Amino acid sequence: MSDLLISEQHGFRTLHFGSEWVQGRMRISRPADLALGYAQDMCAALLFTAPPKHVYVAGLGVGSLPRWALAHWEESIKRMEIVELRADVMALTRSSFPLPADDPRVVLTLGDAAKVITERPASSVDWIWVDCYDGRGRVGTLESADFYAAAHTALKARGVFVANMWSSVTRYRGGLRRLRAVFGANNIVLLPAIATENVTVIATKSPLPPLDNRAIQARARALQAEYKLPFERWQKALAPVATAL
């Protein structure tokens, strides 16, 4: 019996993995919107880098981030590789949460995202998104030192690694310590969600600028006007990784 459950209410379609926990949500009338706040937060790395050409997505879910990226970064994206561990999730997403059909830039791969990234050339990826949880809130090797090292190798010099983590679980600080050991303490910032325990972790290969400098503030204003997302609030809420350790 499958643990994949879909509910619909108030114009939204939601995926569950055998529990009330929300795995992903899509606004039916505007599928390219980011319906969940934490998913919006995972776009905050635009404060530090330009829209990417090559995106690597660990975990398909309902495809929210890929749909948003393809709609908003149409001019920049040349390749988007999405790696999903479960064939049934891939099949369900095609039928109920579809990505744009027949887009040659999108490569959907069935496999372990922590392994597949090791097969990518060094310095070949601009942006890595990681949002993989099973029905019990586990992520497996996607919080391992080996995965973080492979992701660091695959990223270009100005690339960004963006992961959704939960601050309430005991493994949270361990994951941050492993990430810091690979990327360096000065290259990681945290963005806590407002209403949930999600924390967006942004790590870069190149040093981050001061979070309160005028250039970042001006960029936040410009991005907010362009994308209609709360970049100014995000810029003020970002914190160094040391605040959580």
Predicted pLDDT at 6: 92
Query: CA 88 to CA 110: how far, in whole Å?
Result: 10
Q: DSSP assignment, residue 2? A: -
CA 119 to chain centre: 20
Helix (H, G, I), strand (E, B) or coil at 168: coil
pTM here is: 0.94
Helix (H, G, I), strand (E, B) or coil at 133: coil
- CB–CB of 190/199 below 8 Å? yes
- Domains along the chain? 32-244 (3.40.50.150)
Helix (H, G, I), strand (E, B) or coil at 111: coil
- CB–CB of 80/66 below 8 Å? yes
- CB–CB of 117/147 below 8 Å? yes
Contacts (Cβ under 8 Å, ≥6 apart) of 63? 24, 26, 82, 93, 97, 98, 99
| Residues in the chain, overall count | 245
Beta bridge partners of 14: 7, 25
How would you label 136-169 residue by residue, b for 16+ Cβ within 10 Å and e otherwise? Answer: eeebeebbeeebbbbbbbbbbeebbbbbbbbeee
Return the H-helix or E-strand segment holding 212: none
Tokens of 62: 């309902």
Tens of pLDDT along the chain (245 residues) come to 568 889 999 999 999 887 777 889 999 999 999 999 999 999 999 999 999 999 999 999 999 999 999 999 999 999 999 999 999 999 999 899 999 878 999 999 999 999 999 999 999 999 999 998 655 556 778 999 999 999 999 999 999 999 999 888 888 999 999 999 999 999 999 999 998 889 999 999 988 999 889 999 999 999 999 999 999 999 999 999 988 88
- CB–CB of 239/200 below 8 Å? no
